[in-house]
Every structure is written in structure tokens, then in C-alpha cells.
Structure 1
Amino acid sequence: MRFVYAVAIFALLAGQAYAQTAPMQKYGDPDPEKSRTEIEAEKQAERAYQRSLSNVPNATGPVDPWGNVRSGDAQKAAAKPAPAKRSKPANPTN
């Protein structure tokens, strides 16, 4: 008899938990139409995001976040420019 009661309680609790899940949009279903307030809220959020991006200062020069970890020799080796490539061979063989 205890088993029957345990199953009944479990079924009641599982039913309530299942009822709390929100319906999900399935793949291929069209997007639900948005109300005017939702559209205005999205526009406001986009404007606030763009304003926040304008508050970020522009970085000047190259930034090396690992610079304090590397030794000084590694920076000097990386600073050398690569030799220019030639477009024609020095001695054409004809």
C-alpha cells in the first residue's frame, strides 16, 4: 500500500513541475509577433548599447597583455621587420 501512495505523490509532484515549464518554439515555427512595447524596448536597449560603446576609450598602439610574462628578448625578436620579398629573380636564366 505504501508503494501506491508513493507513486501517487510522485505523480502529483511531477504533474505540477511539468505544468510550470514554458512552451518552447519548435524548429521551423514562425517567430511570434512582437507588440509595440516590445519593439520599443528593443530599440531602447539597442540605443543604450550603442551609447555604452561610445563610452569605451579607443586603445592607442599595440597592446600586449602577456608582455609582463615574456622576457625582454622575445619582444626584441618580434619587433624585427620581415625582409621584403623580391618580385623578380636576381639572375634570370635564359
Structure 2
Amino acid sequence: MKLFRMAAVLAVLAGPAYAQMPNLNLLQEGPGKTPEEKAADAERDKAYKETLKKIPDAKASNDPWGGMRSDPPKQPTPKASTATNAPKKTKAGTAAN
């Protein structure tokens, strides 16, 4: 049990030291590309750039309330006499036309 505790303590203490070690790349340069692979990459890049040119420009936002927020509040128009335009009510509470 004592050996297990010592191993756990060493593992906890070694973690931060391992994180500070530099990243060593032992393979400085990998194998180079063949001329065929380079030509295929160039063709792929060219096709990608042509495809990007075909994408249409983004449209304006489809926000139905966008104009409502940006406009200043409108002044209410003065109403003519509202008493003449109101429908007459009968005793039952329904409007008579």
C-alpha cells in the first residue's frame, strides 16, 4: 500500500514537469511530394478558388421587424370626430349596421 501511495505522489508531481518539456520533432522534414501530387494540389486549389467566385453575395437580413426598430416613432394623426363613426349598439350589446 505504501508503494502505491509513492507511485501516485510521483505521478502527480511528474505531470507538471512533463507539460513543460519542449515539443521535439524528430522528423524535421517528411518525404516530399511528387510533381504529380503538386500538380494535383494546384489544380484542386484552382478549382476551389473558381468555386468561391461562383457563390453569390449575401442578401440583406430577412428580419421583418428590422425596419420597425430603426425608424423614429411616427406622430399620431389627429382623428376626426369618433362619435359619428362609432356603430350604434342595441340593448342586447350587439352593433347594428
Q: TM-score range by the shorter chain?
A: 0.3 to 0.5
Q: Compare the two structures and name the one with the higher strand fraction.
A: 2
How does the TM-score come out when normalised to structure 1?
0.38
How does the TM-score come out when normalised to structure 2?
0.37
Which has the bigger relative contact order, CA under 8 A and spacing at least 6? 2
Rg: which structure is higher? 2
